[in-house]
Amino acid sequence: MKILSKNNFSNSMFFLAMLILSGVIIVLVSKYWLMMWLGLELNLLGFILILEKSNEEFFKIMKYFIIQSVASIVISMSFFLKNCVEGGLMFSLSMAMIFALFLKLAVAPFHFWIVSLVKKMKSMNLFLILGLQKLAPMFIFSKISIFFKTNSMFWGMSALLGSILGLFSSSMNMILLFSSISHSPWMMMLMLSNSPNFWFIYFLVYLLNLSMVLFFSQENKYKLLMFLSLLSMGGLPPLLGFYVKWVAIFCNFASLTIILLLLSSIMNMYMYIRISIKSLLNLKNMNKKIMESKSFLPMFFFSPIMFFL
């Protein structure tokens, strides 16, 4: 019976993962706003059911559902009304849609709702909410970002705020949350630059680093690889995270904005190093474990890969 229940659980989780991916794909390939909205809702439904299957707290599930539903209502109304109006009202609807997307993405200062959700969230759910769940709203924002030609200072301040909040955090979940908040403005600002499609490459690099941090943090013998993944996420040369930020800096942003983004990256690097050193110091006989055959071989295999991450 236990084996049967485990199989049922695995099958249901696989189905829900496919539901989320289907929603993302619908958004990415659709040319019509209605289909994009449908993709967002499939994405939301799949993640809500995964949270329920993972036995997350009911309060967390309801809070996420309410926030995302309110944002979805605003987005859907903007979709349906944009063809019926013109001039200033159309601009207002576009701005309403943009702020609803900010709420979905938890971009600072619209991040208030997500902090309590991720404190004790499981690794898989954390990867989804900080990674894959951002792709569809990001893509929609890239389509309407022309209406948000604001001073790039907004993005610099948003990234800096996320990094400052991360300095006061000590748990891995909270550090990854505020790291995500500080990375989002980089991507969204790239949509308004002279390389508007580069945001997707930045997102893929961020997603890869996030997945590796969460994967390697599960095993003590892989803590060093987790440390390298965090450094890549922070943008330390010559790791891959450095190159995407290097390209982003040369995308015709104001000098003060670049300074704010660099300050944000320095703060991120500090909190990554702090949590990594704390984690490494908590290990006993670290060198002995690395040299054991079962732990040394994975380290040997991943080391060339990590040089580029």
In the predicted structure, residue 84 carries a pLDDT above the cut 50: yes
CB 225 within 8 A of CB 216: yes
> In this structure, how many other beta carbons lie within 10 angstroms of the beta carbon of residue 290?
16
pLDDT tens for each residue of 87-119: 556 667 777 888 888 899 988 888 888 988 888
Q: How many Å apart are CA 286 and CA 299, to the nearest integer?
A: 13
Which 8-state DSSP code applies to residue 108? T
> In this structure, how many other beta carbons lie within 10 angstroms of the beta carbon of residue 103?
22
In the predicted structure, residue 8 carries a pLDDT above the cut 60: no
pLDDT reported for residue 190: 84
CB 144 within 8 A of CB 89: no
pLDDT reported for residue 85: 62
pLDDT reported for residue 283: 60
Banded pLDDT at 215 (limits 50, 70, 90): confident
Banded pLDDT at 206 (limits 50, 70, 90): very high
pLDDT reported for residue 308: 42
Q: Mean per-residue pLDDT for 141-154?
A: 71
Q: Percent of the chain scored above 70 by pLDDT?
A: 80
pLDDT reported for residue 208: 92
Nearby residues of 309 by Cβ (< 8 Å), 6 or more positions away: 208, 209, 212, 228, 229, 232, 239, 240, 241
Residue (of 68, 40, 64) closest to 52 by Cα position:
64
The position carrying tokens 């990001």 is: 138
Question: Taking CA 52 as the corner, what is the angle to CA 50 and CA 55, rounded to the nearest 5 degrees?
Answer: 110
Buried b vs exposed e over 124-147: b needs ≥16 C-beta within 10 Å?
ebbbbbbbbbbbbbbbbbbebbee
Q: How many Å apart are CA 219 and CA 8, to the nearest integer?
A: 27
Residue (of 252, 236, 170, 241) closest to 210 by Cα position:
241
Q: Mean per-residue pLDDT for 255-264?
A: 86
Q: Mean per-residue pLDDT for 142-151?
A: 68
